[in-house]
Structures are given as C-alpha cells and as structure tokens.
Amino acid sequence: MRHILIACAILLLTFGGATSQDKMPPSNRLTISHIADDFAIDRLADPAWEGTSQVLVSKYWSGKAAAKGREFSARLLWSDTALYVRFEASQSEPLVVSEKPDTSQKTIGLWDRDVCEIFIAPDTSQRKKYFEFEIAPTGEWIDLAIDATSQKRKTDLGYNSGMTSAARIEKDKVVMAIKIPWEAFGVARPKIGDVWLGNLFRCVGKGKTRGYLAWQPTKTAKPNFHVPEKFGEFEFVK
C-alpha cells in the first residue's frame, strides 16, 4: 500500500508540473491587457500600467547577457482607440541625447542616440510589412512605416501615425511611454484573442561600447533590429 501511495504522489507531481508549465506563456509571447478608459500618455504612473504583464529585456541582439545597468522592461496596454507602450530603462551611464530636443515633430536619426523602440506587424501573414516607433529619454520620437518584402528595405519617413510621447529622467533610470492610435495601422484593429507580431529594443551608450538590446534577439553578425523573421508575438487579452 505504501508503494502505491508513493507512486500516486509521483504521478500527481509529474502531471501537476506539466500542467503548470502548459499555462506559462511562451518566451516569445507578450500579453497586452485591455483597458476600458483611455488616459493621457504623460501619466507615466497611471494605475492602469500595473494591471498588465511586464517583460524584462536583459539580452543584446546577439543573445548575450547585457549589463544590469542597461536592462529595460516594457508594459503594453490597449483600448478601443489606441495602443500604449511604457518603457522603464536602467541608466548607469551618461545619457546620449540631444541638448536641444524638439518634441513637436519626428526626429530623423533618433536611432543614433539613446532610445527604446517597438516594431509592430499587424498582419501575421505579412510580417515584412511593419511599423517602427521610437522614443528617447528627452521625449523625442519617430514613427516609420517599413516594407522589407523586397531585397532592399523601404522606409517611409513621411509616415504620420499620430503617436504621442512622454518621458521622465529619474535617478538611475528613465521612464518613457508612447500612445499610438489604431488609425496608424490603417484598417487593422485588434480584437480579444488576436495576435500581432513585433519586437522590443533599446539602444544605449555610444562608440564601441554602444549596446543594442532586443526582447527577441535577432542574432545577426552585426547589430540589426530589422529581422522580422525573429519577431515575437503580441497577444491582445481582456
């Protein structure tokens, strides 16, 4: 009888562990929680942010571990009218930013400074057509429409998403957020259960020690974020 009880306990532990693992989201999937009420993007500490899952990005594009002082986390929310993205980045080195930031219009070349980024492909069957949104610690921003279906990637610098941004520099960290209306994606509108594709990135530092972090490492020979084959999944949930 004792042997039977022990065997049953082992079976319970085995199947219980498997069930628990089955419930864990894949490492390449981030859930985006729905909110009923919109809020201004400059409310960086709005309680709504605490109601969604957070992903920590701690690796470079190559897959190697980044220094703790360069890690960042991201939270995503969605409403009936917009997508919200909030980045919180550790900052243990001097900022690489503009001395005269202009947040009234997009900043071409922003990617050469400290930025956090999100790439989004609404259509999973056309992952090589995606959108790029960046924000700097100064609140500067840029939005781009990308078409990589041909050998030469095409970037629409005149793309106008209607995004808004906000940022705050604190001790040892930077908080940045963007709000993107669904009109930015054309006719695409998510529903509960839908999955879009994309990736999250950070550029930090300068020179030979400049760091390129990626939620889903692209693992290219040189730093390169434009690898839609490596996109992860964004799942829209309640």
Q: What is the mean pLDDT of residues 197-225?
A: 98
For the residues 137-154, what does the mean pLDDT come to? 96
- Domain ranges in the chain? 25-237
Residue 221 C-alpha from the chain's centroid: 22
Q: Which pLDDT score is estimated for 25?
A: 58
Which of 3.30.230.70, 3.40.50.1970, 3.40.30.10, 2.60.40.1190 is the CATH number of 25-237? 2.60.40.1190
What is residue 22's predicted lDDT score, i.e. its pLDDT? 43
Predicted confidence at residue 107, as pLDDT, reads: 98
**Mean of pLDDT over the chain:** 91
Query: Between vectors from CA 50 to CA 214 and to CA 19, what angle results, nearest 5°?
Result: 75
**Higher-confidence residue: 12 or 81?**
81
The pLDDT-based confidence of 24 (bands split at 50, 70, 90) is low
DSSP 174-235: EEEEEEEEGGGGTT----TT-EEEEEEEEEES-GGG-EEEESS----SS-----GGG-EEEE
pLDDT 10s digits, 161-171: 999 999 999 99
Q: Give the pLDDT of residue 199.
A: 98
Q: Which of 18-27, 30-39, 79-88 has the lowest mean pLDDT?
A: 18-27
Cα separations (Å) of 90 from 69, 99, 177, 203? 5, 21, 15, 12
